[in-house]
Amino acid sequence: MAEFLNILAIGLLLGGIYALVSVGLNLIFGVIRVVNFAQGEFVMLGMYGAFAAQTALRLDPYLAPVLVVPALFLLGCAVYWVLLRPLQGEPMMQVFATFGLLMVLENSVLAVTRGVSFSVGSVLSDTTIAIGPVQMPLARIIVLAAATVVAAGLGWWLRATMPGKAIRAVAQDRKAARLMGIPVERMYMVTFGVGAALAGLAGCLLSPLYSMSPQIGMNFIMPAFAVVVLGGLGSVRGAYVGGFIVGLTEALAGFYLDPALKHAVLFMVFIAVLIIRPSGLFGVAGAEEVGLREQS
């Protein structure tokens, strides 16, 4: 029993990581209908940002978001305006463009760091919390809590505030939104910026957990796609719940089958859901089609 609880805890904490990483991706996916392959690299940049903040300013990684989140918001806005705005209605060219961005970001960091891997420490790094027989590192609990707060906060922001309503309006019907006086292009830019900023936040909070390498973004992007598709496109709640499904699947398959097979199982589940219910568990049916249809 204790063993099972431990695996459950590992899965849930892993789910927290995936949920946090996926929220931004799903926002971009759901609103702009852009499949952003470079989202994992934004997380990676967030991690290196936390490292830079610690080396230069002696900032604890948990305080680094103060600097990293605005920086990634601006980067996201710039990427949207320069790279993705001209490619509206060209889903395959968006795939190539964001993949090119992925390659550039990953290898630029590689060129700058020369492949040396870094790690950051926090005052909280070595703390663990015991609940019954289960030992949990505090750093991972913080990620889980942050994922919950971010998902709830983003949900509230989209539901209750004017910019949030504008983003939802643009996602539902671009033309009608424009007629209501919503600056569609600017909303897209802000959405992409917010998505990138959330990835940056995730990167800061994850930095004490991983030793950094430029390739680490790839470790996040594939599970994040699985989360987004499982949970449902454009659904904040879906990204949150999907994160736990993916985390638990990975932990259970890793323990009961073989650690080497956990990714095989995870992605088979992913492909199965993609085929059986492409709109995901919490998504609006047909949402996966809308983005591919020409919106004029």
C-alpha 29, offset from chain centre? 11
| Phi–psi pair at 31, nearest 5 degrees | -95, -55
Among 66, 89, 107, 159, binds another protein (CB under 8 A): 107
Structure tokens at 286: 């047909």
Under the binding rule (CB under 8 A), the answer on residue 2 touching another protein is no
Number of residues that bind another protein (CB under 8 A): 48
Contact criterion met (CB below 8 Å) for 72 and 49: yes
Q: In angstroms, what CA-CA distances link 151 with 16, 180, 236?
A: 11, 28, 6
Binders of another protein among residues 108 to 147 (CB under 8 A) are 108, 110-111, 114-115
Nearest CA among 176, 181, 48 for reference residue 106:
48
Stretch that binds another protein, among 93-101, 134-142, 157-165, 238-246 (CB under 8 A): 93-101
Under the binding rule (CB under 8 A), the answer on residue 86 touching another protein is yes
x-marked contacts with another protein along 232-271 as a string, rule CB under 8 A: --------------------------x-xxxxx--xx-xx
Under the binding rule (CB under 8 A), the answer on residue 214 touching another protein is yes
> What CA–CA distance (Å, rounded) separates 57 from 162?
36
Taking the complex as a whole, the smallest distance from the CB of residue 271 to another protein amounts, in Å, to 6
Count CB-CB contacts under 10 A for residue 125: 15
Among 96, 123, 131, 133, binds another protein (CB under 8 A): 96
Contact criterion met (CB below 8 Å) for 25 and 98: no
The residues that touch another protein, with contacts defined as CB under 8 A, are 35, 83, 86-87, 90-97, 99-104, 106-108, 110-111, 114-115, 214, 218, 222, 225-226, 229, 258, 260-264, 267-268, 270-271, 274-275, 278, 288-289, 291-292
